[in-house]
Amino acid sequence: MVGAVSDDQGSLDSEGSMKMPVVSVTPLANGDLGLRLGYPTPDGGCQEMDATFTKDAVDGQFSSAAVAQTNIRVAFANYKRFAVLCSETQRGDVRNVWLQLCSG
């Protein structure tokens, strides 16, 4: 991931200490998106995670219950060099919007 912005309060509170994750986005044969994420940990290690964004009925729109994102849109991508993702999260009554630039 090259950059991310959000109105998520947890992200805003930790922006001074937050480390940028590395994200690889791959289109899957069934139309879903596969993501491989690596996050730096405070002890200098790396926590890795795989996620699948499930294709919705609308082209370019996905969702992922695993990361609480209900409306993920691929704004633009060539899947070899970059992808621009816009997503929403919902936690209780709080809705947040995220914009992410991922680079390969």
Is the full-model pTM beyond 0.85? no
Burial environment of residue 21 by CB neighbours within 10 A (0 to 12, 13 to 18, 19 or more): middle
Instruction: Look up residue 104 and give its two tokens.
Output: 């390969």
Q: Which of 1-15, 31-45, 65-79 has the highest mean pLDDT?
A: 31-45
Please state, as a whole number, how many other Cβ atoms lie within 10 Å of the Cβ of residue 85. Answer: 24
Q: How confident is the model at residue 30 (pLDDT cuts 50, 70, 90)?
A: very high
pLDDT at 27 over 80: yes
- Say how many domains are in the chain: 1
| % pLDDT > 90, the chain | 3
Domain range enclosing 21: 3-103
Instruction: Look up residue 77 and give its two tokens.
Output: 């991508």
Looking at residue 66, which CATH number applies to its domain?
2.40.128.20
The residue ranges of DSSP E strands in the chain, in sequence order, are 3-6, 22-27, 33-40, 46-55, 61-64, 69-77, 82-91, 94-103
